[in-house]
Structure 1
Amino acid sequence: MEMARKKRDPKKVALAQAILDAYQPETAEDMNNALKDLFGPMFEAMLQGEMNHHLGYDSNDKGPKKDDNRRNGYGKKTLKTTQGEVEIEVPRDRDGSFEPQVVPKRTKDVSAIENKVLAMYARGMSKRDISSTIEDIYGFQMSHDMISDITDCIIPELEEWKNRPLKKCYAFVFVDCLYVTLRNDYEVKECAVYVILGYDLNGRKEILGLWISESESKNYWMQIFDEIKSRGVEDIFFISMDGVSGLEAGAKAIFPKVVVQRCIVHLIRNSIKYVPTKDYKKFTQSLKKVYGAPTLKSANSAFEIFCKEWSQYPGAVDVWKRNYSHVEQLFDYGSAVRKVMYTTNAIEAVNSSFRKVTKKGAFPNETALFKLLYLRIKELEKKWSTGYIPNWSMVLNQLMVNDLFKDRINQYIRL
């Protein structure tokens, strides 16, 4: 079926034709230059309208005036627009009381370039690259100091975000660290950035916070858990982590009812260190029969076979013997819940996004690092705002039939 042609506003069609007749553009660049050329007269016409309203009469009005204030010539101003730099004449009045709104006094940039700079910064572009891109696209230069000033505008918002109240309950929390390089005078050092991702009871993702320390430790994780509790978190059902020594005990000291789950994917990585490359595929296939089993009984049977089959690699088998309780506890819950809790892939995806923008080099200070990561979080939140965790209704139903969670869910969610 042929789509009907959209009818254009006759006034807009006539205006477009008038522009074509006046400029006779032959290329897209000619058309762009024509539009740029019109920016000045458009701004000036709007400013004249504001001046007429301010004085109470237009320039052709010969009647009596309400006061002694009059027009007083023009001042020149160069504006930065999305079409490049445009020079305009701004009307003035005698007593200097005219305050234009379309182009306020001392405003020279009407391009809304700040949001574009923040978006480029959030994508990991350096100040030099941002400056070059702005000049290439918009035709005016932007200094590194100006870029810093623009990005510094988010610092109050960042501080508010870092200290904001959190939800009372999170069904799943994923914790992980990534390492970044900070520069202090002539010293360069690696620091750990602690990241917590939470899934609330409505199936929404949220970064609970960012913290920085010289290294990852159970003591600092305890401080972080204590902080999120002071910010309003009363209950966490599951914490998935990659196995920091003492982290499980530390988490349970702050949230006694929490179930701490070792990441199965990390255990696989730890165990294949002891396995020759030629056996990787068969080894991981044997393991999948264990943690991917439909029931605990079949998992236990598969684990016995696994231990015998791979006894020639005692280091690899020992990793699983020491951590088998984390495999067993998976089968206390339904398959939809297991699929969420068994791995920290969700937060590793977040940290992978962070690494894309932090790999450019050393940061001059913590503030510069946090600015970048916070802007990256805002980019991620735009994506997350359009959907829920896949299969969330099934996850919630499986939690509701478990006596450990039913009353806790009813306490925090309206069903």
Structure 2
Amino acid sequence: MTQLNFNINFEELTEAILKSDMNSMMKSLAVLVMNAYMEAERDEHIKANQYERNEERKDSRNGYYSRGYTISIGKLHLNVPRTRSGEFSTHLFNRYQRMDQALVLSMTEAVINGVSTRKVTNIVEQLCGEMVSKSFVSTIMKRLNPEIEAFQQRSLTGHTYRYIYVDAMYIKVREDHQIVSKAVYIAQGINEDNRREIIGFKVATSESKETWSSFFKELRERGLTTPKMLISDAHTGLRAAVKEVFVGTVWQRCTVHFLRNILNVFPKKDAKEARELLKNIFRSRTTQEAKDNKETFEAYVKDNGKYDKALRILDDGFFDSIQYVNEPEAYHISLRTTNSLERLNREIRRREKAISIFPNSASAVRLIGAVLLDINEKWQSNQNTFLKDYISPLMETK
């Protein structure tokens, strides 16, 4: 059969169209190209060009329907091809990334469930056209759900993870006609190739010892071996779960959270020098240097009763906060905080703001999973390692 050929990279062109600020003439060109692209898709589906008869033909043309498609340059009016069987579906409208599909789906579910706001409705219209239907939701769910589930349940036996970072963030979910707060658990590992991986996530009712233990045990069931170090904040339930599930793992308290806890009880005035001395403790390169810096801070504030509570907090968490000094010095900056997870949280928050309240827990899992899956894939394709130029020191310590 005669092929309809275009000497155009449609993915690059579509991306350029979506990102460009074009005038009316260029919008007309976009319509022309997109219509031609969908026509070629239908020819490929039918296995025959227009008016062509052959034994491979599997369907017949059935005209077009008009569809408005809103992108960054404005609304385009396209002619979408149809077939007699109704089995043909263009892939043109699926060009947006997986995480954006999940975002659209979450907002669309909200619209269908009657909890939409004007803001949400407008965003849905901009991203997927004016028609919001349950069939649209079903189509995207069928495509996204297996991907997210496979990512969430994949085996971890292919790698060993020396360092694990864990954190929890909170989201709002509509449940039983009420708005409730739920915890999102996220675990990031550093594998033997010195690359970051998102090894697990979970949406749970609350943050407690039981739910943290359950999350860790699920990671173990998927093949996670005992890590050398786990980095997190000082949530009581989390610490108890680490002791229960990861026997022998060193716990590194996030120094950013710890420092914030201490500074919260500092006097409001004339504390600049004390602040710098305190920060020096968590910049130490050895245990002895940390002890010396701690003594310097204590000597500076010992005669001021306003620092008594800060001194008690520092004593209680000091050794847990300096476990990083026992690892190669090149890794100290990365190991003493959960900053890398904070960046993940911000990526999730950025998309969550468009929804505000998830229509259900499944929607939250889908959107968060899509965001994390896309980020994880980018990490794996990136040539830079998590600790950049510090892979040699890590290999030397094995």
For Structure 1 versus Structure 2, the TM-score category normalised by the shorter chain is 0.7 to 0.9
The alignment partner of 1:177 has SS state of strand
**CA distance in 2: counterparts of 1:386 and 1:188, whole angstroms:** 39
What's the counterpart of residue 187 of structure 1? Answer: 178
Q: 1:199 aligns with which of 174, 190, 194?
A: 190
Superposition pairs of residues 99-110 of structure 1, within 5 angstroms: 105-107=85-87, 109-110=89-90
Q: 1:159 aligns with which of 146, 149, 167?
A: 149
Q: 1:363 aligns with which of 353, 358, 361?
A: 358
Q: 2:132 aligns with which of 143, 146, 154?
A: 143
Query: How far did residue 306 of structure 1 move?
Result: 0.7
**CA distance in 2: counterparts of 1:79 and 1:106, whole angstroms:** 16
What's the counterpart of residue 221 of structure 1? Answer: 212
Query: How far did residue 78 of structure 1 move?
Result: 2.2
**Cα deviation per residue 1:303-346 (whole Å; 9 max; x = unaligned)?**
11211323331111211110111244333222113222111111
Q: 1:41 to 1:246 in 2, by over 3 A?
A: closer
**Cα deviation per residue 1:173-226 (whole Å; 9 max; x = unaligned)?**
111111111112322111111111111111222211222222211222122211
1:151 corresponds to which letter in structure 2? Answer: I
TM-score of the two chains, using structure 1 as the length reference:
0.72
Q: 1:279 to 1:383 in 2, by over 3 A?
A: farther
What's the counterpart of residue 272 of structure 1? Answer: 263
**Cα deviation per residue 1:347-401 (whole Å; 9 max; x = unaligned)?**
1111121122223322121101011101111332243231333545535524643
Q: 1:76 to 1:193 in 2, by over 3 A?
A: same
Asked if the contact 1:264/1:342 (under 8 Å) is kept, the reply is yes
**Cα deviation per residue 1:227-271 (whole Å; 9 max; x = unaligned)?**
111111123121001012153453243232321100111111111
Superposition pairs of residues 51-66 of structure 1, within 5 angstroms: 52-54=52-54
**Cα deviation per residue 1:128-159 (whole Å; 9 max; x = unaligned)?**
24432147xxxx53314344224312112222
Asked if the contact 2:153/2:222 (under 8 Å) is kept, the reply is yes
Q: 1:161 to 1:134 in 2, by over 3 A?
A: closer
The alignment partner of 1:236 has SS state of coil
Aligned CA-pair RMSD: 3.5
What's the counterpart of residue 65 of structure 1? Answer: none
**Cα deviation per residue 1:43-68 (whole Å; 9 max; x = unaligned)?**
399576365251699xxxxxxxxxxx
What's the counterpart of residue 93 of structure 1? Answer: none
What's the counterpart of residue 323 of structure 2? Answer: 329
Asked if the contact 2:253/2:337 (under 8 Å) is kept, the reply is yes
**CA distance in 2: counterparts of 1:287 and 1:305, whole angstroms:** 9
The answer to which of 274-283 and 374-383 deviates more is 274-283
- Tell whether 2:332 aligns with 1:352: no
Q: May I ask how many residue pairs the two structures share in their alignment? A: 348
Superposition pairs of residues 227-242 of structure 1, within 5 angstroms: 227-242=218-233
What's the counterpart of residue 132 of structure 1? Answer: 125
Q: 1:218 to 1:193 in 2, by over 3 A?
A: same
Q: 1:288 aligns with which of 267, 276, 279?
A: 279
1:389 corresponds to which letter in structure 2? Answer: T
Return the structure number with greater relative CO, CA threshold 8 A, min gap 6. 2
- Tell whether 2:308 aligns with 1:319: no
Asked if the contact 1:131/1:144 (under 8 Å) is kept, the reply is no
What's the counterpart of residue 339 of structure 1? Answer: 333
**CA distance in 1: counterparts of 2:277 and 2:391, whole angstroms:** 27
Superposition pairs of residues 9-28 of structure 1, within 5 angstroms: 28=23
What's the counterpart of residue 77 of structure 2? Answer: 84
The answer to which of 168-177 and 152-161 deviates more is 152-161
**CA distance in 1: counterparts of 2:315 and 2:39, whole angstroms:** 74
Percent identical residues: 22
**CA distance in 2: counterparts of 1:42 and 1:325, whole angstroms:** 63
Q: 1:164 to 1:314 in 2, by over 3 A?
A: same
Unpaired segments of 5 or more residues in structure 2? 1-5, 8-21, 70-75, 109-120
Q: 1:374 aligns with which of 358, 369, 373?
A: 369
2:373 corresponds to which letter in structure 1? Answer: K
**CA distance in 2: counterparts of 1:297 and 1:86, whole angstroms:** 73
The alignment partner of 2:264 has SS state of helix
2:205 corresponds to which letter in structure 1? Answer: E
Query: How far did residue 34 of structure 1 move?
Result: 5.8
What's the counterpart of residue 304 of structure 1? Answer: 295
Query: How far did residue 277 of structure 1 move?
Result: 3.6
**CA distance in 2: counterparts of 1:158 and 1:34, whole angstroms:** 36
1:300 corresponds to which letter in structure 2? Answer: K
